[in-house]
Homo-oligomer: A and B are copies of this chain.
């Protein structure tokens, strides 16, 4: 990571509402409050770390407007509405230098079937495979060793990182980003049990991934049995997530790592699922539901609910029960004593 920003550069990018202090340093790195050294920029993104600001050795610190401390010598405080957003602006600038827009064109080692359409502004990197009938849109980037199956359609400004797989007939709309190893369009898991064997039910639907979706490394999204599996606009999916066939995910959801969504389940818009959470199949998780890590959703959840536990229940109830479970040894002891006392007094 090559970073070199003057304090003036950083102010130009983050546009602070107020500044305090000054530094002569050039910023050459980003670091957390406790690990920063002179020459680093740091930030307070989570109130939990407020007490660490006073001791940080960072040369520049992004802070929320209501932070009340003062900088040390040769240290610059920049007060902004949201330090995380300000940092993101800075990182976006760094990202442009790290990952410059690739040069359009098809690498000579890529295998493009006759009848595939690759836009002139697209980039197809080394050792990619594009099967017949597939379409790769304007400015889309297949980085390396990507597979695009026959009749798959990719829109504009997508980025398919190394080793990603988009199976036949599946669709990515615009600005979709697939992290390395993600698989879109594997067969749904469907069998009929007849005569002592599981007979495969052909999975002839596809997957449609709407605009601005990101899907994590080695996550898997199965094609529909028929019709389509859908990932709604703006939804973000973390690593190692399983999305079964005919799942419909709404817009702007957040699906954390290792979540499993069973077949034909619907998530409405703005759902948030914590890591390793799971749903049974054929149910609906309402708009804006939040589920804690490892929540096990086995029935419909009403819009706006905050659930936790396995099986998932209202968050406050689950927290209460979790505490009471830890008091079970005490309860059993007290109960035995009370029972003995009652028996004795009634004898």
Oligomeric state, in copies: 3
How many interface residues does A have (CB within 8 Å)? 118
What string of 1s and 0s marks CB contacts (under 8 Å) between A235-271 and chain B? 0101110101010000010101110101010000000
Q: Which of A257-306 contact B (CB under 8 A)?
A: 257-258, 260, 262, 264, 275-276, 278, 280, 282, 293-294, 296
In the complex the two chains form, is A129's CB within 8 Å of B162's CB?
Answer: yes
Assess the A129–B127 pair: CB atoms within 8 A: yes
Chain B hits for A162, CB < 8 A: 129, 147, 149, 165, 167
Q: For chain A, residues 298 to 347, give those with C-beta under 8 angstroms from any C-beta of chain B.
A: 310-311, 313, 317, 320-322, 324-329, 331-332, 334-335, 338-339, 341-342, 345-346
Is B342 in contact with A326, judged by CB distance below 8 angstroms?
no
Known: A109-B111, A129-B127, A328-B321. A278 touches B256 (CB 8 A): no
In the complex, the answer to whether A192 meets B82 with C-beta atoms within 8 Å is yes
A280: B residues at CB distance < 8 A: 293
One of A10-18, A70-78, A85-93 contacting the partner: A85-93
Cα distance A342–B84 in the bound complex, in angstroms? 58
Interface: A20 (CB within 8 A): no
Interface residues of A (CB under 8 A from B): 1, 29-32, 35, 46, 48, 82, 84-85, 87-88, 91-92, 94-95, 98-99, 107, 109, 111, 125-127, 129, 131, 144-145, 147, 149, 161-163, 165, 167-169, 179-181, 183, 185-187, 189, 191-192, 194, 196-206, 212, 214, 216-220, 222, 225-227, 234, 236, 238-240, 242, 244, 246, 252, 254, 256-258, 260, 262, 264, 275-276, 278, 280, 282, 293-294, 296, 310-311, 313, 317, 320-322, 324-329, 331-332, 334-335, 338-339, 341-342, 345-346
